A and B are shown apart, each in its own frame.
Chain A
Amino acid sequence: MVGELIRLKLTLLRRSMSGQWAVQLFLGGVIGLLAAAGTVYLATLDFGVPEVRGDLLAMAMLVWLAGWALGPILFGAGQNDLRADQLVLFPIGARTLTLGLLAAAGLGVGPAVTLVALTGLLVYAAPFGLLATLAGLIALPLTLALFVLLSKVITAVRGQVVRSQPGAALSGLFTAALLAAANSVWALAPALGVALATGFPDTLSATMRALPSGWALTSIDAVGRRDWLLAIGALGGLLVLDLLLAGVWATVLRRQLTAGRGNGRRPRAVRLAGVDDGVTGKELRTWLRDVTRTHFVFFAVFYGLLQAVIPLVNGATIFLPWTGLMVVVWTAAVTANLYGTDGTALWLTLVTPGGERADVRGRQYAWLLVVAPIAIVLTVVFAAVAGLGWAWPWAIALTAAALGAGSGAVVLVAVHAMVPLTDPRNRGSGAWENRIDVVQVIGVLAVVVPSLAPTFGVLWLSGTLDVPALAWVAVVLGVASGVAYAWGFGLLAARRLAAQGPELLSRMRSGPAPVAVGRPPALAGGTGQAPPWAVAVVLSCFVACWVPLVAQGLVPMILKLAGSGITSWFLALHMPQAYQWWVIGGMMLLGLVLIGIGLAVARNFDIRPGAGFGGVPARSSAMDSPEPERRDIADEVRKAISGRRTD
């Protein structure tokens, strides 16, 4: 049976090797392989202090672990994953099922790339002798299993936990903490240069090795020191942890399969004094009752809070007054899939005369009713705590402008860059398929950030000219521009919805429209293909852009700022002093242009992931609906398993 599941997974992988999925897999593979090569390269480097090599490798392992933990949250559970609920009707024992699903989960681009990265362990172990290499060989599959299992457990547990508001809050906090921690790593960059020469602080190396991601290294190091007990302990620890995670996963899977869809939940009675029962009322009730939405508000609030609070560790209070502002911006960025989360319920708006305008305005109003109180409280409280008198008008003006622009940006992005999700009633108990969409985040930021510019400009003037009264003019401007943004962006969104509502609904039902207005026949359910040149352009742009942007731009910039004196292969740093900044700037611009070209082509040919990126395609089961069928995984399962059983 395990063999059958593996075969099934391979079939699904093979099927996905076409069109947009192939592009996506290929891109992921290339980026992953670069990262893996970097990890292995770390293991070969020679620094003045011998421990540095191990410390760096341990950090890299932690980054891989974090990637596996965060992956499903940021990018959605894999589209090609076998899902337990598809197998529930077949006579397969729980243990076999877990083992089979684990084996199937171990197949794919992600695990393959990670396996390459983990060979860095062997490279690291080789100088310590044969026994250390042997320890590395044992630790390698155990660590890979740890990564895969952790990712699976997080996906499954999250599906179980995020069914109630406290669960959504907890999950939001977890995601926010992980992301904030990942962000804060960059703050260590200046310290890195020093550490490479003098070694990392002992506490840091100890922590890196004490975390499960570092146990493989701990074991290899221990063999090197002939500390057999620790060596075996670390390997045994990995094995026990793997088994434990597998046990948790099996339990959660079993519960998921038998728990049904949570029937009989009592809706929270929502009394809305003074709020219309129309769109605003519906939206507010949905915000309060639908955890797929609230989860993101919780995430954004915690993320904004952590970003403001973490610098307090260094005694920096300067970030506190902006907490409300950051929460507003992040909430807007991650809640912009308003139409996607509701699924095909859009029809009710579309059959209503003039319903589009009412719908957009109601959604904006409800969004403000949810976000504004949080933002106001956070701004007032944290500005007071920070005790920075001058910061008050800044915080108030920018938060007000951001609230208006945010309420406009969410509806604008919601209609322009909707990500189709499975209709709410078909989202299984564990299939919690919503995710943060990068395109939407960029879209919202692209609208909100420039919108703050006028207000910021006046504030900046008041600071430069030292005219405090001007800052209060900025407050008026912030509020006024906020109102204008909310009104104007909302108007644009309503117009778009009125003009393109049926197309939006079609995308919800069947993924990217087979024949969209003003586009060449696009990819849909494998019936059409983007022309090869388009795929090639997108691929080369996304693969190549990182070289000028990061490797020849960002990195030399940091090195130059840090005054490291390293020149290596960085073109800019080989230039005469006067030209260095120009070359760095030019390189970064080149990278951005490449990304822009890639995005433009991808958008025109709809190479962008469409329906079902986060799970099952959002198409209805209308029996009469002749839209091209997307491949049905359950059918595959049936064919592979039933077929074989009767052979």
Chain B
Amino acid sequence: MRQANAAEDVRHRGDGGPPALEIVGLRKRFGEKVAVDDVALTVPAGSFFGVVGPNGAGKTTSLMMAVGLLRPDAGTVRVFGVDVWADPVRAKTMLGVLPDSLALPERLTGPELLRFAGRIRGMDHATIESRATELLAVLELDDAGGTLVIDYSTGMRKKIGLAAALLHRPQLLVLDEPLEAVDPISAATIKTILRRFVEAGGSVVFSSHVMPVVEQTCDHVAVVSGGRVLASGPTAEVTGGETLEERFVGLVGGGGSGGREGLSWLAN
């Protein structure tokens, strides 16, 4: 019962309260490679925030550090003003997380997984049951009730992970590539759920490298490349009249013209 009712907590929307997520001077290096280099991001409360960047840009590393799963070399992360690394218990109470490509308790079925996720947070049985049933139905996982998570497809894994992240009604959702490998119908469902969550006062940060999705759904966006934030702010400001994809290619460089040279044996 510790935070089962976090849902009913005060909403911090546009009332001058602390931002949903505030990242300052975040750094991480692996051996010689600097993966995240002085990243700063501010996610206003109540915003739907997209993080875009090419492969290896440091998106996953930054998000992992933001939610307390990877210890930064330097920098601070605050969730609604609470330092994630100094006061993890309070910060985690407000967070819902979906990491990318990590394992789940594989030998559980979907319903069992949600029960586990709820009980370890101290939620009561009745709340878990009713929320889990609804989530499984909405995400169309109710037919797979008897299947172990290890036998789920990648898209199903994303969906059950999302359900676990939503179960305790967090105030800030941090989702790493939530729509990757998810079929178009489920993707539409997930986008709708997330929009409703934001409309009700929740905040969402999600990473993607599918530009149109970010452009359609996010009111704020950050472009990350080479471990640095190249641009960040309200989507319209960042794009400045261009499409996000054009702006992205302009910022990141490369011109998107690779693949025109060589490979003559393939193209003939």
List chain A positions with a Cβ less than 8 A from chain B.
263-267, 276-279, 281-282, 285-286, 289-290, 342-345, 347-355, 358-359, 362, 423-425, 502-503, 505-506, 509-510, 514-515, 521, 524-525, 527-528, 620-628
Contacts and interface: CB of A to CB of B under 8 A. Distances in A.
Interface residues of B, number: 58
Interface in B102-154: 102-109, 112, 115-117, 119-121, 125, 146-148, 150-151
Contacts of A358: 120
A345 B31 contact: no
Nearest to B161: A348
Contacts of A502: 68-71
B99 A347 contact: yes
Contact of B92 (A345, A353, A514): A353
Interface of B: 2-3, 29-33, 35, 53, 55-61, 67-71, 73, 88-90, 92-93, 95, 97, 99-109, 112, 115-117, 119-121, 125, 146-148, 150-151, 164, 176-177, 207, 227
Residue with the greatest number of chain B CB neighbours at <10 A, chosen from A264, A342, A359: A342
A624 B92 CA distance: 24
Nearest to A264: B151
27 contacts: A267-B146, A276-B119, A277-B112, A278-B120, A279-B116, A281-B116, A289-B107, A342-B106, A345-B102, A345-B106, A347-B97, A347-B99, A348-B105, A348-B164, A349-B120, A353-B3, A354-B89, A424-B150, A425-B106, A502-B70, A503-B71, A505-B70, A506-B70, A515-B29, A620-B100, A620-B101, A623-B55
Given A282-B116, A353-B2, A355-B120, A622 B69 contact: no
Contacts of A510: 30
Nearest to A362: B120
Contacts of A525: 31
A281 B115 contact: yes
Contact of A345 (B70, B103, B112): B103
Max chain B Cβ within 10 angstroms of own Cβ: one of A282, A355, A505, A506: A282
Contact of B121 (A276, A353, A528, A621): A353
Nearest to A623: B55
A625 B32 contact: no
A629 to B, nearest CB: 10
Contact of A514 (B30, B93, B95): B30
A521 B32 CA distance: 10
B30 A285 contact: no
Contacts of B108: 282, 285-286
Given A350-B69, A425-B103, 18 more contacts: A277-B112, A278-B120, A279-B120, A281-B115, A281-B119, A290-B107, A342-B106, A345-B105, A348-B120, A351-B97, A355-B92, A424-B103, A502-B68, A503-B71, A527-B30, A620-B102, A625-B60, A628-B30
Contacts of B61: 624-626
A621 B103 CA distance: 11
B31 A359 contact: no
Contacts of B147: 267
Contacts of B59: 624
Contacts of B176: 624
A506 B102 CA distance: 11
A439 B234 CA distance: 53
A264 B144 CA distance: 11
A183 B87 CA distance: 52
A620 B112 CA distance: 24
B207 to A, nearest CB: 8
